[in-house]
């Protein structure tokens, strides 16, 4: 049976994360850091994970100082099975629950297919696909034991659309869409949910190099109906919706926060 619904006498109660624990992989910078801050503002304790312990600690300190909520950093290479297993074990030892998982680690390599070295292609797959698969593999028994939880995989507008010189990236993000739907079906009997959040062009560290080429930058931004970059705070509301009881009947869904890219 589903968990009792929170008091819904006021809609804002559905968005509260009091008592929840959120693990954000790729959470020390960019969209992951912004989403971590948003979840903490809603009341969640947060664990920020990236490969660098100093980056994790700095990100967690910023979240705590801004919100007063508990936030800690735990470093791990999300592409390595042994480190992901250790990460989840450490989180469970510390918090005894994981209510929200955001898989936000990602990289890009921009070049036509004949100019992409296989090693670069494989690295994109390792970070964008393998890391998410490994994290979902580890959290599955936790969700089933808890009989609750929300997993948010971070895809892209390019999970559905395409751009030249994005073969590896488009493939990886489209793959996450399929994985998300499979996991939604597998976990539904256990009252656990899996959705994919698909951002459009945000001016993250990954996209900063585009500014060196205004024509390429406009090629990306011009795909949106709003004809602008997304601002970092604009990802938080969607993440909070998918993480919270407000989306309790939403699973296997793709939520595009893309300024109208996929509407065109």
- Among all residues, which ones are annotated catalytic? 169
Counting beta carbons within 10 angstroms of the beta carbon of residue 18, is it exposed (0 to 12), middle (13 to 18) or buried (19 or more)? exposed
- Taking 3-state DSSP, the helix, strand and coil percentages for the chain, each rounded to the nearest 5, stand at 50, 15, 35
Counting beta carbons within 10 angstroms of the beta carbon of residue 41, is it exposed (0 to 12), middle (13 to 18) or buried (19 or more)? middle
Are 142 and 88 within 8 A, CB to CB?
Answer: yes
Backbone angles phi and psi of 256, in degrees to 5: -95, 120
Sign (positive or negative) of CA dihedral 242, 195, 231, 67: positive
**Pick from 42, 31, 41: nearest CA to 104:** 31
């Amino acid at each position: 049976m589903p968990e009792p619904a929170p008091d819904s006498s006021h809609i804002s109660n559905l968005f509260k994360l009091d008592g929840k624990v959120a693990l954000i992989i790729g959470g020390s910078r960019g969209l992951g850091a912004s989403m971590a801050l948003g979840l903490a503002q809603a009341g969640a304790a947060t664990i920020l994970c990236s490969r660098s312990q100093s980056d994790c600690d700095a990100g967690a300190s910023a979240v705590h100082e801004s919100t007063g909520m508990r936030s800690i950093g735990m470093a791990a290479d999300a592409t390595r099975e042994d480190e992901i297993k250790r990460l989840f074990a450490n989180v469970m030892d510390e918090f005894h629950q994981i209510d929200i998982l955001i898989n936000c680690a990602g990289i890009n390599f921009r070049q036509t297919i004949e100019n992409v070295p296989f090693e670069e292609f494989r690295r994109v797959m390792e970070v964008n696909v393998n890391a998410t698969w490994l994290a979902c593999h580890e959290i599955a028994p936790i969700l089933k034991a808890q009989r609750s939880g929300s997993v948010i995989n971070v895809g892209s507008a390019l999970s559905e659309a395409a751009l030249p010189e994005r073969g590896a990236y488009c493939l990886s993000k489209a793959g996450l869409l399929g994985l998300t739907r499979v996991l939604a079906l597998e976990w539904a009997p256990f009252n656990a949910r899996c959705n994919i959040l698909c951002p459009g062009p945000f001016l993250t560290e990954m996209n900063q190099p585009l500014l060196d080429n205004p024509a390429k930058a406009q090629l990306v931004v011009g795909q949106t109906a709003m004809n602008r970059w997304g601002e970092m705070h604009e990802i938080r509301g969607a993440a909070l919706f998918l993480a919270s009881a407000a989306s309790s009947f939403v699973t296997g869904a793709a939520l595009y926060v893309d300024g109208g890219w996929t509407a065109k």
